[in-house]
A and B are shown apart, each in its own frame.
Chain A
Amino acid sequence: MSRSTTDRVIAIIAEQAVLDPSDVTLDSTMEDLGIDSLGLVESIFAIEEEFDISVPFNANEPQASDFDISSVAAIIEGIEKLVKEQS
């Protein structure tokens, strides 16, 4: 039985933020967690590797991407959608 998407995303984000997964909540923002732009790009890479998906994210204009990074919950929701579309 594989871990839920939520657990897997939180594990990736927690590692990036050097936090315990229990400190990463669904409503946390990247800024709350101390993840800067380079850290965000690295997290997205780790997510793509973990889920074998391609995330449409351009660091030049994060708001213009289809992929919502405003909170951990939004990221998880986006990944679930991508996994469904790209599987």
Chain B
Amino acid sequence: MKRVVITGAGTINALGHTVPATLEAMREGRCGIGPLDFRDVDRLSIRIGGQVNNYEPETRFNRQQLALYDRFTQFTLIAAREAIEQSGLTFSGDLAARAGIVLGNSGGGMTTLDDNYRSVYEDGKNRVHPFVVPKLMNNAASSHVSMEFNLKGPSFTVSTACASSNHAMAQAFQMVHGGMTPVMITGGSESMLCFGGVKAWEGLRVMSRDACRPFSANRNGMVQGEGAGVFVFEDYDHARARGAEILAEVAGYAMSSDAADIVMPSKQGASRAIKGALSDARLNTTDVGYINAHGTGTAANDKTESAAVADVFGAHADRLMISSTKSMHGHLIGGTGAVELLACIMAVRDGIIAPTIGYEEPDPECALDVVPNVAREAKVDVALSNAFAFGGLNAVLALKRFA
């Protein structure tokens, strides 16, 4: 089996428009969550989110591209450009024929849907722009990245709600690990911050009106974010042969299904995914120094996740660090695992642990070291990234410091 390493990373999210800007914000424990700004926001009861601000699509794409790219596709392309540029790869010949892209995404082109439903239902128009379908389809982002970079290998989009990106990256890992292709582009994106997108989430009554405070006793719900994270997963031998810079090694993963409830998390399902990832990566529990939590800031997730970690790690649970960066960038739904993998790379590569900000009161049901409010320096050999989705679909990735 091939060793799999990460040779490129890119992002745009509420914390920054690049990986360096995002990591700097995470180091400083900065909050990217603020008042939402879009049409009809005054009709929402939830008015905060991790929106990508100071974003001028016209500076990144021409008019014809913008006519075809929903916001989630734009974010994906921006992140993919950064990641692939960092990797130094160009795709032609045999490499182009084998390299593909697998991305996670949950809602597809929500802004496109919202705008066009409004146009036909509210404004009574009987005609919509011809590109509505190619803009809103979930695979649009994967397809546009494949076209821009000439990726002709296996390419598709995975949709497993809040675990989409982790499932996608697990799949990409498996393809490189098994020798199907030397390179896969992977990650995920989401852009649901529009009237209809937030209104739908409001209905579930799990959203906070003021802040995302994961693991804090006074937490009162999740806050949505938007953006993308994209990575280059590469066969180690291929990367070494061309002298590529290696950011981290992907050591393994596991997926599990709770088969229990469409929204409530399960300790058993989460535990099985965490244990499975360690076993796949041939790691011991004591090897793990950091976990990037799913940590949504809801009552149910955070206590269930804490219990799962306590179960799997036993006494070591008190020695490892676990933080939720959703407190800073919000919950990117289908894109969240991708942006959160950046915190894992920072942990193993730079020895800096991103904090859980907004932490105010200890919760006895979440009695772990959640790296409250301030980033920490620590040498970490192995980091896990948790994602536990609605529908009970779980995926956990294990990253190792490259040595």
Output the residue of B64, B67, B127, B130 with the most chain A CB within 10 A. Answer: B130
Q: Is the CB of A45 within 8 A of B129?
A: yes
A41, B64: Cβ atoms under 8 Å? Answer: no
CB 8 Å contact bits of B97-134 with A (1 = contact, 0 = none) = 00000000000000000000000000000010111000
Chain B nearest CB from A86 CB (Å) reads 13
Least CB distance, A82 to chain B, in whole angstroms: 14
Q: Is the contact region of chain B dominated by helix, strand, or loop, or is it mixed?
A: loop
Taking the nearest CB of chain B, how far is it from the CB of A1, in angstroms? Answer: 27
Does the CB pair A42–B130 fall under 8 Å?
yes
Asked whether B131 lies within 8 Å of A42 as measured between CB atoms, the reply is yes
Chain A residues, CB < 8 A from B131: 38, 42
Beta-carbon contact of A18 and B127 below 8 Å: no
Complex-state Cα separation, A41 to B130, whole angstroms:
7
A contact patch SS: helix
Could you give, for residues 21-65 of chain A, a 1 whenever the CB lies within 8 Å of some chain B CB and a 0 otherwise?
000000000000000001101101100110000100000000000
Complexed CA–CA distance, A42 and B64 (Å): 10
Bitwise interface map of B from 18 to 53 toward A, beta carbon under 8 Å scored 1, else 0? 000000000000000000000000000000000000
Write the nearest CB–CB distance from B72 to chain A, whole angstroms: 20
Q: How far is the CA of A15 from the CA of B62 in the complex (A)?
A: 12
Asked whether B130 lies within 8 Å of A49 as measured between CB atoms, the reply is no
Contacts of B127 in A (CB 8 A): 45, 48-49, 54
How far is the CB of B175 from the nearest CB of chain A, in Å? 31
- Interface size class of chain B, counting residues whose CB lies under 8 Å from the partner chain: under 10
B130 is contacted by which of A15, A18, A45, A54 (Cβ under 8 Å)? A45
Residue of B with least CB distance to A45? B130
Name the B residues within 8 Å of A18 (CB-CB): 63-64
In the bound complex, what is the Cα–Cα distance between A48 and B63 (angstroms)? 20
Nearest-Cβ distance from residue A45 to partner chain B, whole angstroms: 5
- Inter-chain CA distance A41–B128, complex, in Å, is 12
Q: Name the B residues within 8 Å of A41 (CB-CB).
A: 130
User: When the two chains form the complex, which single residue of A42, A48, A54 contacts B67, counting CB atoms closer than 8 Å?
Assistant: A42
Q: What is the CA–CA distance of A49 and B219 in the complex, to the nearest angstrom?
A: 49
Shortest distance from the beta carbon of B345 to any chain A beta carbon, whole Å: 38
Using CB atoms, name the residue of chain A closest to B128.
Answer: A45
For B130, list chain A residues within 8 Å (CB): 38, 41-42, 44-45
A18 to chain B, nearest CB (A): 7
A42: chain B residues within 8 A (beta carbon): 67, 129-131
Q: Which residue of A lies closest to B126 (CB)?
A: A54
B64: chain A residues within 8 A (beta carbon): 18, 39
Compute how far the CA of A45 lies from the CA of B125 in the bound complex, rounded to whole angstroms: 13
Chain A min CB distance to B64 (Å)? 7
**B129 CB contacts on chain A under 8 angstroms:** 42, 45
Name the B residues within 8 Å of A44 (CB-CB).
130
CB distance from A62 to the nearest CB of B (A): 14
Residues of B within 8 A of A (CB): 63-64, 67, 127, 129-131
A39-B64, A42-B67 given; 16 more Cβ-contact pairs under 8 Å: A15-B63, A18-B63, A18-B64, A38-B130, A38-B131, A41-B130, A42-B129, A42-B130, A42-B131, A44-B130, A45-B127, A45-B129, A45-B130, A48-B127, A49-B127, A54-B127
CB<8 Å pairs between A and B, sample of 18: A15-B63, A18-B63, A18-B64, A38-B130, A38-B131, A39-B64, A41-B130, A42-B67, A42-B129, A42-B130, A42-B131, A44-B130, A45-B127, A45-B129, A45-B130, A48-B127, A49-B127, A54-B127
Q: Closest 5 CB pairs between A and B?
A: A41-B130, A45-B130, A42-B130, A45-B129, A48-B127
